Amino acid sequence: TSDRDLAQQLATRAGRSQMEIVHDALELYRRQQLLADMNRDFAAMRRDGDAWSEEMAEREVWDVTLGDATGGD
């Protein structure tokens, strides 16, 4: 099955245009790539002891700040 045929089948099944199907597929791919890039960068930061310590310190600051906004402890 060609890509064009698959797009047509999916569009017919969904009651949408082929362009909408292609748009949705591209958006999903973009999001997957963004998450893959973020996961790679996060893993690199964890391997860097100084960077990871900074991240943990910043999270502690945000935890306190978020607690203030919600009226929590």
Q: Per residue in 4-56, pLDDT tens?
A: 999 999 999 999 999 999 999 999 999 999 999 999 999 999 999 999 999 99
Residue 69 has pLDDT above 90, yes or no: no
Instruction: Band the pLDDT of 68: cuts 50, 70, 90.
Output: low
Q: Are 27 and 34 in contact (CB under 8 A)?
A: no
pTM of the entire structure? Answer: 0.69
pLDDT of residue 33: 98
- DSSP letter (8 states) at residue 71: T
pLDDT of residue 28: 98
